[in-house]
Structure 1
Amino acid sequence: MHDIRSIRENPEAFDAALARRGLEPVAQKLISLDEERRALTTQVQVAQSRRNEASKLIGAAMAKGDKDTAETIKVEVAAIKEEMPAIEARADEAAAKLKAELEIIPNLPSEDVPDGAGEDENVEVARWGTPRSFDFTPKEHADLAPALGMDFETGARLSGARFTFLRGDMARLHRALGQFMLDVQTHEHGYEECNPPVLVRDEAMYGTDKLPKFAEDSFRTTDDRWLIPTSEVSLTASVMGELLDDSALPMRLTALTLCFRSEAGAAGRDTRGFIRQHQFEKCELVSIVRSEDSEAEHDRMVRAAEAILERLDLPYRKLLLCTGDMGFGARKTYDLEVWLPGQGAYREISSCSNTGDFQARRMNTRYRPAGEQKTTQFVHTLNGSGLAVGRTLVAVLENYQNEDGTVTVPSALQPYMGGIERLMAET
């Protein structure tokens, strides 16, 4: 959410930042709506003030025995009371109109984010690892994995497209990946492990900028709760409405949860295989920090995600997303793309974003800086994948496949696999 006062003070800068995202100027429209809201609010306040003043004058007139004056003022008060509901309703309507406009405007990009219309203009800033040389033609996971326990047919029969049933050692490897990620992020990078709800109320989705704009991308239950698209929602919203003490920051939270996405806007993309599912697991990273610390925290979070890939010896590249490819709530985003030899391409496996105070304003989450008695500031929130478990499983399958159709278990995961060193087809 944007601060209307900041927009009033510098409308040109606001529109210029939106233009970098390819959006039309809206500052003057917002300012006009705000002027209407403020004028109506002033009318309400003036009417309330006059009503209160007149009520006192009635008492004074009655005390003096001046019944005529008292009756005249009573008529005025009655008229004010009759008019006020309509004025208040118009003020509420004007405030709602302004809020409805503000809440669908994306975050403004950081100055160091490259301009661009889409993913082709993202900037590669680093690359790690050397893709493995195969002495056979590597398979895509969708061709390799069914014999090893990745059962697409049963998943589809149970739930429809984009659901998968994992069996045996494939299911165990998936579980091992999630456990490994949690252990690394908690033991080595200082994240606090959490086990949050995967069903949340509107307020949690709204505060983390998933509503109202992206309602159709998520699943809603019959009791009007939402299945989380990522535990970013639950973890970030855990401080919704709070005034945090400076000593509580930074807060670093992680969770391994099921995630659910309807993928309403992704028709035709990655419908084959395990990359884009309606139900998946992800090890989420969330940081809640002081405003001056968010840039350094962003770099720290990216390193925490990179560490998983490096420990698994999975080649990857790091991209700084351009203005046209960033998510709605992000002011700056780094994507990590892992090498998939079966596809012969790098594919996204983690996205780490700094949202600044964009979510905090929607959640009304502040902190009191050390030494301050009255002054408060909005926190900055960051979120990232550390990592997406299913996509990491895909990367392991493709990078560690053998010519005989088996898959070697990475050494970092073998302690979690009970001595299993290879995934093999059941005979």
Structure 2
Amino acid sequence: MFDIKWIRANAEAFDAAVSRRKGISVRASDLLAIDDRRRDIITRLNDAQEKRNALSKQIGQAKAQKDEAKAQELMAEVASLKDFIPQGEADERAVELELSNALSVIPNLVFDDVPDGTDETGNVEYFGRNGSPETAAKARAPKPKLSFAPKEHYEIGEAMGQMDFETAAKLSGSRFVVLKGQVARLERAIGQFMLDLHTTEHGYTEVQPPLLVRDEALFGTNQLPKFEEDLFFTPHGESRLALIPTAEVPLTNFVRESILAEEELPLRLTALTPCFRSEAGSAGRDTRGMLRQHQFNKVEMVSITTPETSVDEHERMLACAETVLQRLGLHYRVMNLCTGDIGFGAKKTYDLEVWLPGQDTYREISSVSVCGDFQARRMDARYRPSGEKQAPRFVHTLNGSGTAVGRCLIAVMENYQQADGSVSIPEVLQPYMGGIKAIGGRG
């Protein structure tokens, strides 16, 4: 969300920055024209109210002087103002709503080092702030070398009888799955491993947030109004609640309408929750298997920071997500998303893409984004700088998946598959699996 005062003072810079965003045609002049109408109405309202107050005093003076004719003349003038003022206030509310709606659908302005591009083909591989392809490769597991034709995860799971799309379709329709037995346990183990890693080693506080949220929370993290069709809503009294599309929504909104002390920052929160998305814009994509589901589990990381530390926090959060894949021995790469692929609220996003032998390609398993004060303005989330007598400042927000549990299950099954149809269990997950070293096949 943008401050119209900032746009007025930086119109050229705003136009240059927003022009880098795909499909955005709005310009500062469009917004300032609405604001000019708002300012004109406010000016006329203030003038009318001042005139009414002055006339009211004059009426009192005329009556004190027994000048009834003058008093009646002034009272008629006040009456005409009383008709104008309510209409002017209604006009002000209408134009303020128009301006708010126009500002609310403008995406965040990206950092200068975000590459330009029209779609995912413009994304650029990222090797770390001071890294290189060689140093990045040392930190990551190599691609697995399989001596047989690899299968996709759903082929492995269905052969085990523990990944059931048919029953899920009977229960709920397409894009759902029933996991059973050891595959269900493996999915649970992956989520628990991630939570333990982020809470014990990475300094995040575990949270169990509500799974239903109000429109105000969704607006705060920019799912509304632009992405309403991707949400599942349920009636709630005279209003409605939405199933969370990601735990980013409740975790980030913890600080909405708050003024934190600087000493409380950075605030780092994590949660393992189900997520619910209608996938309205993905018809025909990834219809087989678990890659794109209406319901899936994800471990989310959220950080609330000062403006001065948010860029470093972004790199830190990326490292936390990378550690998950490194500990699991999964090959992956990091992509710096281009202007045509980056999310609505992000100033910069890194995608972690894990290698899937069954598909013979990389697929996204985590997105890590820094949003600056974009969400904070929508939530009115601020902090008070320590030792300074100045107005509170907006916090900066960051979010990242650490990681998507279902997609991580896919990656483990495809990367650790064996020729006999079994799946070896990564060593780090074996304690969560009761010491089991393989599932399915002859394991």
Shorter chain as denominator, the TM-score bin is over 0.9
Which residue does 1:109 correspond to in 2?
110
Aligned to 1:262: 278
User: What per-residue deviation string (whole Å, max 9, x for no partner) do you get for residues 143-186 of structure 1?
Assistant: 11113311111111110000001111111111111111111111
Counterpart in the other structure of 2:411: 395
Task: Tell me which residue corresponds to 2:173.
Answer: 160
Runs of 4 or more off by more than 6 Å in structure 1? none
> After the TM superposition, which residues 12-411 of structure 1 pair with which residues of structure 2 at under 5 Å, given as runs?
12-22=12-22, 23-126=24-127, 127=136, 128-148=140-160, 149-223=162-236, 224-411=240-427
Q: Deviations over 1:106-132 (max 9, x none)?
A: 111101111111111100113522011
Supply the distance in 1 between the matched residues of 2:192 and 2:335 (Cα, whole angstroms): 26
Q: 2:369 is matched by which residue type in structure 1? A: S
* Per-residue deviation, residues 283-317 of structure 1 (Å, max 9, x unmatched): 00111110111100000000010010001011110
Cα distance, 1:68–1:403 mapped onto 2, change above 3 Å: same
8 Å CA contact 2:55–2:78 kept in 1: the answer is yes
Distance 1:185 1:59 in 2: 71
Distance in 1 of aligned mates of 2:442 and 2:149? 23
Is the Cα contact below 8 Å between 2:221 and 2:252 reproduced in 1?
yes
Superposed displacement of residue 397, structure 1: 0.3
State the distance in 2 between where 1:242 and 1:146 align.
49
Deviations 1:391-423 (A, max 9, x none): 000000001111111111111111111122211
Supply the distance in 1 between the matched residues of 2:6 and 2:338 (Cα, whole angstroms): 24
Q: Distance in 2 between matches of 1:138 and 1:191?
A: 37
Tell me if structure 2 keeps the 8 A contact 1:202–1:225.
yes
* In 2, Cα distance between equivalents of 1:2 and 1:307: 35
| In 2, Cα distance between equivalents of 1:26 and 1:85 | 32
Which deviations, in whole Å up to 9, do the C-alpha atoms of 1:237-272 show, x marking residues without a partner? Answer: 111111111111111111111100000001111110
Unaligned runs of 5+ in 1: none
Q: CA deviation at 1:48?
A: 2.2
Question: C-alpha displacement at 1:62, in angstroms?
Answer: 3.9
Tell me how far apart the structure 1 counterparts of residues 387 and 19 of structure 2 sit (CA, whole Å): 39
Aligned residue number for residue 3 of structure 2: 3
CA distance in 2, matches of 1:329, 1:86: 36
Classify the secondary structure of the residue corresponding to 1:185. helix
Tell me how far apart the structure 2 counterparts of residues 181 and 366 of structure 1 sit (CA, whole Å).
30
1:187 shift after superposition: 0.7
Q: Distance in 2 between matches of 1:65 and 1:193?
A: 76
Deviation at 1:136, TM superposition (A): 1.1
**Counterpart Cα distance in 2 of 1:29 and 1:76:** 37
Structure 2 residues not aligned, in runs of 5+: 128-135
* SS of 1:222 mapped into structure 2: strand
Letter in 1 for 2:219: Y
| CA drift at 1:9 | 1.3
Do the aligned partners of 1:15 and 1:24 also contact (CA within 8 Å) in 2?
no
Paired with 2:56 and 2:185, the residues of 1 have a C-alpha distance of 75
Three-state SS of the structure 1 residue aligned to 2:349 is: strand
Q: Is the 8 Å Cα contact of residues 420 and 442 (structure 2) preserved in structure 1? A: no
Identical counterparts, % of pairs: 56
The alpha carbon displacement at 1:273 in A equals 0.2
What is the rounded CA distance, in whole Å, between the counterparts of 2:298 and 2:54 in structure 1?
Answer: 60
SS at match of 1:382: strand
Return the alpha-carbon distance in structure 1 between the equivalents of residues 63 and 277 of structure 2. 67
Q: 1:416 to 1:221 in 2, by over 3 A?
A: same
- Partner of 2:299, secondary structure, is strand
Distance 1:425 1:305 in 2: 31
Q: CA deviation at 1:33?
A: 0.7
For 1:190 and 1:322, locate their aligned partners in 2 and report how far apart those are by CA, in whole Å. Answer: 30
- Matching residue of 2:131: none
Contact 1:147 1:426 in 2 (8 A): no
Residue 52 of structure 1: how far off its partner (Å): 2.8
Q: TM-score, normalised by structure 1?
A: 0.97
Q: Deviations over 1:187-226 (max 9, x none)?
A: 1111111111110011000111011110001111122111
Question: Offset of 1:49 from its aligned partner?
Answer: 2.4
- CA RMSD for the aligned pairs? 1.6
Q: Distance in 2 between matches of 1:63 and 1:191?
A: 72
1:80-103 CA-to-partner distances (Å, cap 9, x unmatched) read 111111111111111111111111
SS of aligned partner of 1:24: coil
The 8 Å contact of residues 356 and 411 in structure 2, kept in 1 or not, is answered as: yes
- The CA distance in 2 between the partners of 1:68 and 1:51, in whole Å, is 18
C-alpha distance in 2 between matches for 1:257 and 1:290: 27
Whole-angstrom distance in 2 between the partners of 1:279 and 1:342:
23
Contact kept? 2:420, 2:441, Cα under 8 Å: no
State how far apart, in whole Å, the 2-side matches of 1:299 and 1:392 are: 21
